[in-house]
Structure 1
Amino acid sequence: MPGTPKAVAKLVEILSTWLPSLRSRFVLLVAGLFLVLSVVMIMVASYLDLRDEEHRVVADAKAIGATVSRLAVPHLTNHHYLILEQELESIASSGIVELAQVHDPGRAVTIDSDPATSYFDEMEMHPLVARALATGADQLRQTQERVEIALPVRDMASETVLGVALVAVKRVPVNGTLFAIWGRNIVITLVLLVFCVPVTFHFAESFVRPIKALTQTAHTVSDGNFDAPFPVDRRDEIGVLARAYRDMVATIRANMARIHELAFVDPVTRLPNRECFRQHFNANMVDGAGKPNRMSVLFIDLDRFKRVNDSYGHDHGDALLKEVAARLQRLLEASGCACRNDSGLQKGGCEGDQAKFAPLVARLGGDEFAVILPTDKPRNSVYTLADDLVQCVEQPLEINGLTMAVGASIGVSTYPDDGSDYTEILKNADIAMYAAKRTGGNRACFYSEIERDSGSHERIRLEAELKRALLRDEFAVVFQPKIDCTSMKVVGAEVLVRWDHPERGMLAPGAFIDVAEESDLITRLGDRVLELACEQGRAWLDRGQRLPLAVNVSIRQLEKPGFTRRVLETLEMSGFPAELLQLEVTETVAMADPERVSEASRPLLEAGITFAIDDFGTGYSSLAHLQRLPFNTFKIDRSFVSGLGTDKHSRSIVQTILAMARSLNYEVVAEGVETLEQQAFLMENGCTTAQGFLFARPMPADHFEAWAKAFSGRSRQASGTTTRDGTISAA
């Protein structure tokens, strides 16, 4: 603007005559300029504050709605409407919430925060609640008086919609809000005028400029450029701060590299790990045009690796895994499939460069490897590579001076032909791998070759039903009594699981246990069986009936970290005494990994839990292992008991087991006793405890109690004696 410098000079001259102090003149000049801009600043700040206030109200409504939704999950699941109503009233009592409401569509019940209403009252469904139920998405409505939001209440495990939570939050009147915002901004403006403006001008050149430069460098670093230069040559405090930033960035860079290595690199083989493999797959599912990239996943499982690991130790096992990983990598490089960068990961690795979709070999865990590579039609190259991988692995290896040999079972699935996402493709490759193992191993099998196999589809369907059954708690337990054949008293019971299938009725374990083992659902199932058993045992104990219970444990449960902790927590939560619990481990499992069994059982033994070898005689027990294992009970397998009447070989085996048990001071329980002849033979040879259809079939808890009373009555009539112990009818 023309003439402005002269006007400013004139103003300074006038101020000089009024205020001789240069500092005062400078402050007054800045204050005048500041006041001119204050109105604009107040208007803009007021608008922004008002908008923030609106956003805050909406955010509060969403946060409260999310809290109500989370609180409602267990109450809707268990139909604890009264407790939920009390919690909603407590939330509404804060004064912020005008209405809090939860609708349960399953029972057509509405629970709200109004003390004058009850969930028994019939109330009209709120429109937002209806839309949330229909769409399964959050619904928001704003008016001048309030903000209303409806959120679906979802089950945390299955994402099933259990109901809808509705929250209405009051709005503060706009006039009052504007008045408060204007007043606050005016006060802030005056404070800034008095204190901040002189300080800002005074230190602008000497302090603010280098800090801005340092801040800009910090922003550059936050964007990922760790090589940004810091002004470390300064000798003042800014220089000290810059050097501290430089050292901190160097440490962060080293830590980021280490974190990346831990997150994406297998520590044994230095190959990419499962997470890196997953990210690489997901990043390359589509090309630049959005079309699916055809790619094959080769799931590799080493045959006979466990035997090597158990025989020679984990050091030799790790060395073998390293050599196999190196062979796989060399084969892929020789075939022109893969190459390495300086970090040791394949190009196009975890971040997934879609423009350079490169194959990747990874270790998924244990003795499992996987390869992902682009696939073109026809897939001859994949067939050839799979065969080459089998031949590559089966060649003898020299490990620490020892010659070892393993094989490889490979399952292959192709995206998008065999699945629509990573989980499905990897699962189908795993299914194909198990198909290769079932046919002898050391070969490759394609999922497309077995997809017509009804047995495979049945297993997949059964696995999905098992997962739903665990979520819906469709499993129950039954009890088969153990009988002291001398006194004819019930001295315990074995706990067996049953699946109350909604379509097929009550299923015995033989119909689903194998699938549970393969899919690793056996851990959750075993934990649930233990919970049900301990809860029922505690219920009997509260009624004065002391019954020892035996629960089966699988190898997957023993291998799962935290097994010991879960058992002890279950006992503590149920209140069932540890000395009344016996865990049964099959002989095959016990002998396959005696060290793991011994390690897992040691704290349980200290707590008072006992252990039994189930199906004894069907495995390959070592006396040396038996002496080190924590068992005190043999359970003779029913296959030997069933042949006692006709098979001399079975009688000899049973007599040998009983003699071994006496020498080791073990108790013995005979399974599958169905005839008096079998019972008599067992008693003659020193086995006094038995279970089987001769006495009773497995039965629910209420039937068990009725049966036990009748059985004890028959026992007293036969013996002419009266029982005075604290068992469940001598049980």
Structure 2
Amino acid sequence: MRGRDKTAGQSWLNEMRLLTASLRVRFILLVVSLFCGLTIVMIMAASYLDLRDEEKKALDRASAVAVTVSRLAVPHLTNHHYLILEQELESIVADPLVRHVQVFDPARNISVDGNPATSYFDASEMPADMARVLETGKQTFRLAGDLIEISVAIRAHGGEILGAAFIGIVRPEAGTVIWTIWQRNAVIAVFLLAIAMPITFHFGNGFLKPVRHLTQTAHRVSAGDFDAPFPVDRRDEIGVLARAYRDMVHRIRENLEHIHWLAFVDDVTKLFNRERFRQELEAAITAAGQTGEALAVLFIDLDRFKRVNDTYGHDVGDRLLLEIAGRITRELGIADGPVLSAGRSGAVLATGRLPEQPVVARLGGDEFAVLLPGRIRVSAAGDFAVNIVRAVAAPIDIAGVSIVVGASIGIAAYPSDATTCTGLLKNADIAMYQAKNGGGSGFRYYDAEFDRIASDRVRMEGELRTAMAHHEFELYYQPQIDAAGGTVVGVEALLRWHHPVRGVLAPGTFMDIAEETGLIVEIGAWVLETACRQGAIWARAGGNLRVAVNISQAQFLADGFAETVLEIVERTGLPAHLLELELTESMAMANTELVARAVDAMRGGGIRFAIDDFGTGYSSLAHLTRLPFDAFKIDRTFTAGIGVDKSAMVIVQTILAMARSLGYESVAEGVETPEQLAFVTSHGCRHVQGFLFGRPMTAEAFELWMAQHAARELRAILVAVKGGAMAKTLGDVSNLDAVCPRAVA
């Protein structure tokens, strides 16, 4: 018996599955379900609104009763007719919806209610709401169980409060109201459903018949029958869908191999792309883990490629990448060169095997990667790297232009450096950056110390992002001296970072990170405004000190930089002629026309400009004559060579002569000894700056230094230099051999 019941149950389930498998049945069930769901939502929404309406009616009814009682009570309270008032309240309470009515006369402390069993002579407790109404004169109401309780003030015609009325009205029972509403709405829903079902069946059959036909055709196509007929002769949406599906199948049939090519091959270099390289590397790691062989990954990044793109455009950059890809593959001994015939044939990746030859890929931008198979020793990866660097460095002629780039390569090995695809690429990338930081055009094997350096760099980047918000930056000021008069004519604002762990950091430890992350613009804006604000304070105190501020290239090239500078000068109150902006020589020479336009706009407002670190770049005399600058600042590396390096002294003398010829002022940085001071002043340098006069110091320390030591110390230094024999000796560059015996030797 149980067996027959079980068999019957399974048969019923199978029939239900077959029944619901029909698209027609599913469509009808969907429509019915949606209709029922919407009906339930409609009934619930209508029931809620009706219930709220009933409650509002009850509240309006209670308010009307309260107004009636208030009006009836006015003459009776005025004339103290409490008995008549009591009778009228009893008639109101006779209404089954009115549970309680009470009037209170504060003048005689008498309470009258509509309860026949009580009298106004009886002592009764006055509700708290009535006392509140007597105090404020405002109507109150609240819901208390099955009652709506309202308290109103009874006012005379002049507005005077004569007393208070308290009314309790019966609330409609929510359950009874909801049940009545649901019965009404349910009848409406059943009626609508009875009408909708036949209509749904009729239109469902007509709509789904061509869909079933199209579905059957799609199944035949998925089984490999690309010649299955589509109902393309229909003029409705089904016909449009059929024609689109037919065309799509045709395109898929023709372009399947091309899709595979696009998925795994870089379109510019015809090398594998990042995804295909990842698959190859993971497959090689799996195979090497089984055989115990080692693998090597080379991460290649081109040096100076961005400059090529920016100068000649992306078309030339793409042709350069294609040529570089060909050189790399030829150095690795890949016969096909950069064009991968396997990619075009749609070959599927074979997993669990080691590659028979090196695998080359372009990861993106100017980055390439090479996977050396296990048969090549990891120690030999350096030889491949040397050959690739040499091949890439050879000049490339594109469109009549000879282009020279370099390659920095990082090498990571499996399993010694990492055991995953991500780890190998990451560590090879870290090693590549070490090669690039070492000057480029070379290679580095991965070292765990590189990882620590990279982690420190990432950590410092995060700390640098929060340093501004935590007010960890401060400006130090180094005095600039007029060597002729011994007076302080200005200061250079120098940034310092009060790192919470590493202490006070100079810009050299973090400025390159700021430039890479773009934080240099925000930091530079803070430096400029802070320096201008401090300079304005000194100017108002009577100090005529010029404030020099270094400007980064990103900051200078930012949109609206000139307007920002002029606005800061005006806002801080610093006289414009006391602000000097310093641009490095390489910045000034990069785009002289752009620099000249931007500088002219600010010099028109009175701001001075200086070329910083002069002598370290590649200035053109023709360009220098067109740049609207005010001063040269001789780089400290040349100043440090005075008395030691004959060539440095010649360079300093030449720069000073050039400055005089072009009408530029000159400032010698890094003056630390009397000999250096004597040399630069004897050759016409009037303004000097360096540890000989004062180290960079905070604004407060600088003010104290000025007040206590500056005048006396500067006079002593200058008198000693001018009166000493060193000034006479260094005054003529012909005596350099006597001054620099080590340089001559």
2-side partners of 1:508 and 1:444: how far apart? 30
2:197 matched to 1:197? Answer: yes
Query: Which residue of structure 2 aligns with residue 697 of structure 1?
Result: 695
Query: Which residue of structure 2 aligns with residue 299 of structure 1?
Result: 299
AA aligned opposite 1:361 = V
2-side partners of 1:573 and 1:282: how far apart? 56
Query: Which residue of structure 2 aligns with residue 12 of structure 1?
Result: none
Query: Which residue of structure 2 aligns with residue 536 of structure 1?
Result: 530
How far apart are 1:637 and its partner, in Å? 1.5
Report Cα offsets for 1:189-234 as digits up to 9, x if no partner: 558616643432332233344467779999999xxxx999975431
1-side partners of 2:433 and 2:347: how far apart? 30
CA 1:406–1:541 in 2, change beyond 3 Å: closer, same or farther? Answer: closer
Query: Which residue of structure 1 aligns with residue 521 of structure 2?
Result: 527
How far apart are 1:550 and its partner, in Å? 4.1
Query: Which residue of structure 2 aligns with residue 418 of structure 1?
Result: 417
The match for 2:464 among 462, 467, 470 is: 470
2:637 matched to 1:639? Answer: yes
Report Cα offsets for 1:630-651 as digits up to 9, x if no partner: 7553210123334556877555
8 Å CA contact 2:408–2:436 kept in 1: the answer is yes
8 Å CA contact 2:295–2:413 kept in 1: the answer is yes
What does 1:342-357 correspond to in 2, within 5 Å?
none
Query: Which residue of structure 2 aligns with residue 361 of structure 1?
Result: 360
CA 1:463–1:233 in 2, change beyond 3 Å: closer, same or farther? Answer: same
CA 1:251–1:636 in 2, change beyond 3 Å: closer, same or farther? Answer: farther
1-side partners of 2:665 and 2:600: how far apart? 16
Query: Which stretch shifts more, 188-197 or 411-420?
Result: 188-197
What does 1:64-75 correspond to in 2, within 5 Å?
none
How far apart are 1:503 and its partner, in Å? 4.3
1-side partners of 2:461 and 2:498: how far apart? 14
How far apart are 1:698 and its partner, in Å? 1.1
2:369 matched to 1:370? Answer: yes
The match for 1:673 among 658, 671, 674 is: 671
CA 1:669–1:462 in 2, change beyond 3 Å: closer, same or farther? Answer: farther
Query: Which residue of structure 1 aligns with residue 652 of structure 2?
Result: 654
- Look up the SS of the partner of 1:298 in the other structure: strand
CA 1:642–1:235 in 2, change beyond 3 Å: closer, same or farther? Answer: closer
Report Cα offsets for 1:495-526 as digits up to 9, x if no partner: 3333434444323345x25xx64x67654453
- Look up the SS of the partner of 2:558 in the other structure: helix
Quick check: which has more Rg, 1 or 2?
A: 2
AA aligned opposite 2:370 = V
Report Cα offsets for 1:246-297 as digits up to 9, x if no partner: 8899999999999999999767545566x65886589769759999997532
8 Å CA contact 2:233–2:239 kept in 1: the answer is yes
AA aligned opposite 2:368 = F
AA aligned opposite 1:201 = F
AA aligned opposite 1:623 = L
CA 1:488–1:330 in 2, change beyond 3 Å: closer, same or farther? Answer: same
AA aligned opposite 1:429 = A
8 Å CA contact 2:265–2:276 kept in 1: the answer is no
AA aligned opposite 2:506 = A
How far apart are 1:690 and its partner, in Å? 2.8
Report Cα offsets for 1:367-406 as digits up to 9, x if no partner: 5432245557953674565455456546675545677776
Report Cα offsets for 1:453-472 as digits up to 9, x if no partner: x6x57744642442343144
Query: Which residue of structure 2 aligns with residue 123 of structure 1?
Result: none
Query: Which stretch shifts more, 183-192 or 610-619?
Result: 183-192
How far apart are 1:566 and its partner, in Å? 9.1
2-side partners of 1:401 and 1:659: how far apart? 40
Normalization by structure 1: what TM-score? 0.54
How far apart are 1:536 and its partner, in Å? 1.4
- Look up the SS of the partner of 1:334 in the other structure: coil
Structure 1 unaligned regions, length at least 5: 1-32, 50-174, 719-731
8 Å CA contact 1:297–1:425 kept in 2: the answer is yes
Report Cα offsets for 1:141-193 as digits up to 9, x if no partner: xxxxxxxxxxxxxxxxxxxxxxxxxxxxxxxxxx9xx99x9999969955861
How far apart are 1:298 and its partner, in Å? 0.7
8 Å CA contact 1:489–1:715 kept in 2: the answer is no
What does 1:434-583 correspond to in 2, within 5 Å?
444-447=443-446, 450-451=447-448, 456=450, 459-460=453-454, 462-473=456-467, 474-485=472-483, 491-510=489-508, 512=509, 517=512, 522-524=516-518, 526-537=520-531, 539-540=533-534, 543=537, 545=539, 549-552=547-550, 557=554, 564-565=558-559
Query: Which residue of structure 2 aligns with residue 615 of structure 1?
Result: 613
8 Å CA contact 2:630–2:664 kept in 1: the answer is yes
Report Cα offsets for 1:549-598 as digits up to 9, x if no partner: 5444567x58xxx951496798699766996765544445666xx24x86
8 Å CA contact 2:636–2:669 kept in 1: the answer is yes
8 Å CA contact 1:612–1:632 kept in 2: the answer is yes
CA 1:204–1:380 in 2, change beyond 3 Å: closer, same or farther? Answer: same
- Look up the SS of the partner of 1:494 in the other structure: strand
Query: Which residue of structure 1 aligns with residue 378 of structure 2?
Result: 379
1-side partners of 2:475 and 2:217: how far apart? 65
How far apart are 1:411 and its partner, in Å? 2.1
Query: Which residue of structure 2 aligns with residue 324 of structure 1?
Result: 324
CA 1:521–1:242 in 2, change beyond 3 Å: closer, same or farther? Answer: same
8 Å CA contact 1:476–1:529 kept in 2: the answer is no
Query: Which residue of structure 1 aligns with residue 661 of structure 2?
Result: 663
CA 1:193–1:622 in 2, change beyond 3 Å: closer, same or farther? Answer: same
8 Å CA contact 2:533–2:573 kept in 1: the answer is no
8 Å CA contact 1:302–1:368 kept in 2: the answer is yes
How far apart are 1:653 and its partner, in Å? 3.0
8 Å CA contact 2:264–2:343 kept in 1: the answer is no
AA aligned opposite 2:478 = Q
How far apart are 1:706 and its partner, in Å? 4.4
AA aligned opposite 2:632 = F
Task: Give the length in aligned residue pairs.
Answer: 532
Structure 2 unaligned regions, length at least 5: 1-27, 45-174, 717-745
CA 1:678–1:445 in 2, change beyond 3 Å: closer, same or farther? Answer: closer
2-side partners of 1:606 and 1:354: how far apart? 64
CA 1:496–1:400 in 2, change beyond 3 Å: closer, same or farther? Answer: same
Instruction: Please report the RMSD computed on the Cα atoms of aligned residues, expressed in angstroms.
Output: 6.3
How far apart are 1:483 and its partner, in Å? 3.8
8 Å CA contact 1:397–1:405 kept in 2: the answer is yes
AA aligned opposite 1:202 = H
2-side partners of 1:381 and 1:346: how far apart? 32
CA 1:622–1:367 in 2, change beyond 3 Å: closer, same or farther? Answer: farther
CA 1:438–1:535 in 2, change beyond 3 Å: closer, same or farther? Answer: closer
2-side partners of 1:389 and 1:704: how far apart? 55
2-side partners of 1:183 and 1:373: how far apart? 80
8 Å CA contact 1:284–1:293 kept in 2: the answer is no
